[in-house]
Structure 1
């Protein structure tokens, strides 16, 4: 499945770039990440963590651009209860496929789906100087789907954006919790165009 998705991603990029102006670069972001559920039992405090990766920007026409990205994203959540500090540490390889609409020369809006491939999942329980870390990867879905919405400012070489990533799929296996738990991530990002 992952190979099929990667092949489809590469095909889309190749077809899109055959007759369009293409640029690319590196980007970094500050994640304000948490987890949410419908019944509220899995809502937690935000966890600050980085995102690092790269992007291609394919200029289409009439102010539109397609921007596929490849990002290592550190996510999860944290909360305190009964003298314990609990932290969910998740690392995803995310593939956002963003459609941008440029309003004027600088401002743009963006939206698009995102596939996330889980690389690391650790749960940390800290209390009275004692730390216990357990691996949660076996209880989690290896692939999650999200929807990104955002806006940004493009200054040619540098661009800045604010994005919200809404998790659409359960991050845990369906039999782990009754109520689906989803990622919710705000990103403050900066990008630098390399070509």
Structure 2
């Protein structure tokens, strides 16, 4: 009980200090993702386009330092050519996540404006999946899989980025988001008997991680 009261007191004190010094801001952001797979079995994985959008809170301790938790819908996945070793066969995997990064932001300008650097951990929760496989040639064939059975429902990663706070509200940012956890569960695949980039069908899920570059535009309200 003492630890709980101490933690609550510390949280209230930190929030109060942030509000007193630089205010609490809230806002919206969105932008484009360039997503692919990295890791042991990522051979043949290429970038595919997606988007991210959501909201954030910014707790400013000073013009230099702030804490920024975010809640974002983010499209990840990859485009894989010559899928299952078959020439002309392409897999486009789109996995929708709810990303929850907790970032420390350092801003180099005056009055909270100017260039900034941000970094911190991120938890991601699977919302949906769409795998679209297409075979070219004269007789085009396509298949679609929307199952999430093979996916790890919660993954842990990190975020690091740079940007520019143009005004007290408007900002532009470029960040990299990488996952420590694997995209797929270990063991046999329920949806595919494959390993991307391999000519052998081994029946196991691939060892790959999400790797995403993000360009974002944000606008904050509130603060001083």
- State the TM-score, normalized to the length of structure 1: 0.86
* Structure with higher strand content: 1
Alignment of 1:158-177 (within 5 A): 158-176=170-188, 177=204
Alignment of 1:84-103 (within 5 A): 84-103=89-108
After TM superposition, give the deviation of residue 39 of structure 1 in Å. 5.2
Q: Deviations over 1:103-133 (max 9, x none)?
A: 1230111100000000012211012443211
Aligned residue-pair number: 182
Output the CA distance in 1 between the equivalents of 2:66 and 2:118. Answer: 9
Output the CA distance in 2 between the equivalents of 1:134 and 1:178. Answer: 15
- TM-align CA RMSD: 1.9
- Which 5+ residue runs of structure 1 have no aligned equivalent? 1-10
2:124 maps to what in 1? 116
Output the CA distance in 1 between the equivalents of 2:40 and 2:209. Answer: 9
1:74 and 2:75 matched = yes
Alignment of 1:13-32 (within 5 A): 15=12, 16-20=14-18, 21-32=23-34
1:148 maps to what in 2? 159
1:38 and 2:43 matched = no
- Which 5+ residue runs of structure 2 have no aligned equivalent? 1-7, 189-203
The 1:194/1:144 distance shift into structure 2, 3 A limit, reads same
2:194 maps to what in 1? none
Runs of 4 or more, structure 1, over 4 Å off, are 176-179
After TM superposition, give the deviation of residue 64 of structure 1 in Å. 0.7
1:157 and 2:169 matched = yes
Output the CA distance in 1 between the equivalents of 2:163 and 2:183. Answer: 28
Secondary structure of 2:46 counterpart: coil
Secondary structure of 2:181 counterpart: coil
Which protein has the larger Cα radius of gyration, Structure 1 or Structure 2?
2
After TM superposition, give the deviation of residue 164 of structure 1 in Å. 0.4
After TM superposition, give the deviation of residue 178 of structure 1 in Å. 7.0
Secondary structure of 2:184 counterpart: coil
Output the CA distance in 2 between the equivalents of 1:174 and 1:136. Answer: 16
Output the CA distance in 2 between the equivalents of 1:39 and 1:123. Answer: 17
1:3 maps to what in 2? none
1:65 maps to what in 2? 66
Output the CA distance in 2 between the equivalents of 1:110 and 1:154. Answer: 12
Output the CA distance in 2 between the equivalents of 1:40 and 1:189. Answer: 26
